[in-house]
């Protein structure tokens, strides 16, 4: 018996411009890791970050600066049929990403979450949003109204977003997204989850599932800390000033706090997220400390260093805490408060004032 092995490897070239790019690939490489695909851009220092959407629609990221910290990059591989935001430093040159591998089925349409998704476009021939997304908003009877919005991005520092709203189809010229093209990605928002395939859904079906809040406005945080390895696998909560939990960071070995997106108000649904300018805090085992970051929907990755005190810290219980004396006058409090802290020895300390509801009080 003679076995003949033939190779069907093809290559896909995608151009990256300084600034923001929204891209996809039509081949699946043998090594789908971000470190391999963007090796040239990592080597020359031009790659700032890559953003995608995870299994529940949440933001996942790859930042070359986080490579030395295992577990902090939550996006590690490209998936067939998905799209990605790629940010290139604005002072860098235009470059090409060349990916070689097996061709992806041009009919593939990835599963969608009941929120924001980033999808790729695999066919070589361009089409229109009306044709490509027709399974998500019509024309079956009764009509399907799953698609709320689709948008693309032209790429680069002077790039612009282009929008397609199914409700505007009857009004020629109002939708600025008019072509779906190979090599680009598209961010779409749908009202319910859709299985992988042709995006064909029974309009009478009820596929409503729990969907955690995510939005198109966000920032991302990761951190180093002084937490002991005995807490690995537990979670540190991210709080707003009123005590609302808006994210959780898993404790990794070495005190690393796993990357976590924090979401602001959704621009389409108007669902409320964290308010712009809100200070953020961390809570673990009843201890609340400032994160040292004000919320902004900047779509950036903030790598911070935080310090917990007391028994949560890697050094364990500090005897100094048992001997320090805090005096407050007058008591009960008035509008003016005098605080004094007597320490048995020189030390750096942090004092947080909380109200009756456990909220940290900002002081000048």
Residue pointed to by tokens 């537990």: 234
pLDDT at 257 over 90: yes
pLDDT at 315: 40
- Of 159-168, 179-188, 337-346, the least confident: 337-346
pLDDT at 8: 77
pLDDT at 334: 55
CATH code of domain 218-312: 2.60.40
Write the pLDDT tens digit of every residue in 311-342: 555 543 333 334 455 555 554 555 566 666 66
| pTM exceeds 0.75, yes or no | yes
Q: Which whole number is the average pLDDT over 137-143?
A: 60
pLDDT at 264 over 90: yes
Please give the structure tokens belonging to residue 186: 């598209």
Write the pLDDT tens digit of every residue in 36-78: 999 999 999 999 999 999 988 999 999 999 999 999 999 999 9
CA angle 76, 81, 86 (to 5 degrees): 50
pLDDT at 152: 97
What is the overall mean pLDDT for the chain? 85
Choice between 222 and 346, residue whose per-residue pLDDT is larger: 222
Q: Which whole number is the average pLDDT over 191-196?
A: 84
DSSP letter string, 207-257: ---------S-EEEEEEE--B-GGGTT-EEEEE-TT--EEEEEEB-GGG-E
- Could you tell me the pLDDT band of residue 198, with boundaries at 50, 70 and 90? low
pLDDT at 310 over 80: no
pLDDT at 344: 57
Rounded CA-CA distance 25/58 in Å is 21
Domain ranges of the chain: 10-190, 218-312
């Amino acid at each position: 018996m003679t076995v003949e092995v033939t190779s069907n490897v093809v290559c896909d070239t995608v151009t990256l411009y300084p600034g923001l790019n929204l891209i996809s690939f039509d081949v699946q490489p043998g090594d789908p890791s971000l470190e391999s695909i963007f090796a040239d851009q990592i080597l020359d220092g031009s790659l700032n970050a890559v953003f995608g959407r995870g299994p529940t629609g949440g933001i996942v990221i790859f930042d070359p600066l986080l490579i030395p910290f295992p577990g902090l990059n939550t996006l590690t591989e490209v998936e067939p049929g998905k799209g990605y935001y790629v940010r290139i430093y604005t002072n860098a040159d235009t470059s090409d990403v060349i990916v070689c591998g097996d061709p992806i089925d041009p009919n593939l349409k990835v599963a969608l979450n009941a929120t924001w998704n980033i999808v790729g476009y695999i066919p070589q021939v361009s089409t229109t949003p009306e044709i490509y997304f027709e399974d998500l908003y019509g024309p079956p009877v009764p009509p399907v109204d799953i698609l709320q919005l689709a948008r693309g991005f032209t790429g680069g520092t002077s790039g612009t977003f282009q929008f397609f709203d199914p409700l505007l189809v009857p009004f020629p010229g109002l939708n600025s997204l008019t072509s779906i093209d190979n090599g680009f990605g598209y961010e779409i928002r749908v009202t319910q989850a859709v299985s992988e395939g042709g995006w064909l859904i029974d309009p009478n079906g009820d596929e409503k599932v729990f969907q955690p809040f995510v939005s198109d406005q966000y920032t991302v945080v990761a951190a180093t800390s002084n937490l002991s390895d005995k807490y690995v696998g537990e979670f540190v909560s991210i709080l707003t000033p009123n005590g609302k939990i808006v994210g959780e960071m898993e404790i990794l070995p070495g005190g690393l706090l796993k990357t976590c997106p924090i979401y602001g108000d959704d621009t389409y649904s108007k669902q409320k997220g964290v308010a712009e300018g809100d200070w953020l805090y961390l809570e673990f085992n009843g201890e609340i400390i400032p994160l040292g970051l004000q919320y902004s929907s900047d779509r950036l990755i903030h790598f911070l260093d935080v310090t917990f005190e007391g028994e949560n810290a890697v050094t364990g219980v500090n005897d100094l805490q048992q001997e320090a004396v805090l005096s407050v006058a007058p008591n009960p409090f008035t509008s003016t408060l005098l605080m004094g802290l007597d320490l048995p020895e020189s030390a750096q300390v942090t004092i947080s004032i909380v109200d009756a509801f456990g909220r940290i009080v900002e002081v000048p």
